[in-house]
Amino acid sequence: MLDLSGWLDRASSPTLQQLTLRRPDDWHVHLRDGALLKAVAPATASQFGRAIVMPNLNPPITTPAAAQAYRQRILAALPAESRFQPLMTAYLTDASDGAAIARGFNEGVWAACKLYPANATTNSAAGVSSIEAITPVIAIMERIGMPLLIHGEVTDANIDIFDREAVFIENHLAPLLARHPGLKVVLEHITTIDAVEFVSGGPDNLAATITPHHLHINRNAMFAGGLRPDFYCLPVAKRELHRLALRAAATSGNPKFFLGTDSAPHQRSAKETACGCAGIFNAPYAIESYALVFEQEKALERLEGFASEFGARFYGLPLNSDKITLVREPQPVPKLLDFQGATGDGAGLVPFHAGETLPWRLLP
Ligand code: DOR
Ligand code: ZN
């Protein structure tokens, strides 16, 4: 078992014992539906003030009515006193209607649109088969200031899976931004130095989210001593040089990079099988996980910007006014979290950092 709890004591002194921050937001999360929603939503709501909720349900969330109903189901899954605000997204398809999307945005139902290239990942079969073909929808979004959130990977099976993000940037994202210079774009869950450089060098209307897992693991984690499905997600973790570039970007203080967990729970039975699902469930310890990275990079003073300020400013939303406090206290992460009380083979959810001890704990 990896014990990270003594890390700072060796790294610097005097040791900071407590850290109070403006409450963070999660600008990319999968909350699922039904029993799984009930199991996972409280974890996100206990850490974050708001979250951009991914629409890749089955069927996907494509209409304002579906989004409003889903929003109600999310709120119903939370304790009555929760003040968490889910921010809903529209799932773009080849048939999306720009006027209807704009209406939902102007009425405050949608915070953004999500673009999944068709078949890029979980529940993306109904995604967009040609970005060029939805130019009229994107032109409307550009005009009304509606953010476009992009899963930035090509889907061509002939392109090496570790190259799919870089190829997407070159073949699709750069031309998209050239066609729509005013479009607000978030390149989601970036995994490469190519993405870091492209976003850093791009205009202010281009930003990126970074997950905790891509800051902690490189691709070796999936193959350490055997096949480790709990470290498989999409975009897949890359080489160490990419992880180091992501850590530098996240902790740089550059407001183009902000927090998005991409927490994507799947039950063990769906991960540990012949064709396991992509996704890492990091919601229960997300802010502690990010805090550890910032501490290791000696940049704890920059955590608040990344976690609680840059995303809200990009989306044009007010900052949260309440605070959270992290205390330096060893926090063992269970190997398995209960789900619906089920205990049989394949039940439960494996959290990111399972079996480790984190050095920070969020006060309730
Ligand atoms: O790993 C992932 N899981 N990446 C995605 O893009 C989707 C997500 C999911 O919904 O499970
Ligand atoms: Zn995601």
Give me the percent of the chain exceeding a pLDDT of 90.
91
Mean pLDDT, each 10-residue run in order, the chain (364 residues): 46 77 98 96 98 97 97 98 98 96 97 94 89 96 98 96 98 98 98 98 98 98 98 98 98 98 96 96 98 98 98 98 98 91 78 98 97
The domains of the chain are located at 24-325
Ligand 2 centroid–CA 129 distance in Å is 18
Q: Is 25 a catalytic residue?
A: no
Q: Cα(115)–Cα(195) distance, rounded to whole angstroms?
A: 17
pLDDT of residue 11: 47
Q: Which ligand is nearest to the CA of 260?
A: 2
Ligand 2 centroid–CA 54 distance in Å is 7
Radius of gyration of the chain (CA): 19
Q: 100, 82, 80, 81: which is closest to 92 by C-alpha? A: 100
pLDDT of residue 6: 44
Using CB atoms within 10 Å of the CB of residue 107, give its burial: 0 to 12 exposed, 13 to 18 middle, 19+ buried: exposed
- What one-character DSSP code corresponds to residue 255? T
pLDDT of residue 184: 98
Q: To 10 degrees, what angle do helices 193-200 and 240-250 make?
A: 30
Placement of tokens 């774009």 in the chain = 185
Give, for ligand 1, the residue of 37, 53, 56, 124 to mutate: max count of ligand atoms closer than 8 Å to Cβ: 56
Q: Cα(120)–Cα(125) distance, rounded to whole angstroms?
A: 8
* Bond preceding residue 235 cis, omega within 30 of 0: yes
Q: 122, 186, 129: which is closest to 154 by C-alpha? A: 129
Using CB atoms within 10 Å of the CB of residue 76, give its burial: 0 to 12 exposed, 13 to 18 middle, 19+ buried: exposed
pLDDT of residue 281: 98
Ligand 1 centroid–CA 151 distance in Å is 9
Ligand 2 centroid–CA 106 distance in Å is 24
The overall pTM is greater than 0.85: yes
Q: Which ligand is nearest to the CA of 152?
A: 1
pLDDT tens, residue by residue, 22-75:
999 999 999 999 999 999 999 999 999 999 999 999 999 999 999 999 999 999
Give the binding-site residues of ligand 1, using a 6 Å CB cut-off.
Answer: 30, 56, 121-122, 151, 233-234, 264, 277-279
Assigned CATH topology for domain 24-325 = TIM Barrel (3.20.20)
Q: 9, 94, 262, 338: which is the annotated catalytic residue?
A: 262
Please report the beta strands in the chain, taking only residues with DSSP state E, as ranges in sequence order: 18-22, 26-29, 50-53, 85-91, 110-115, 148-150, 185-187, 206-210, 257-259, 323-332, 357-362
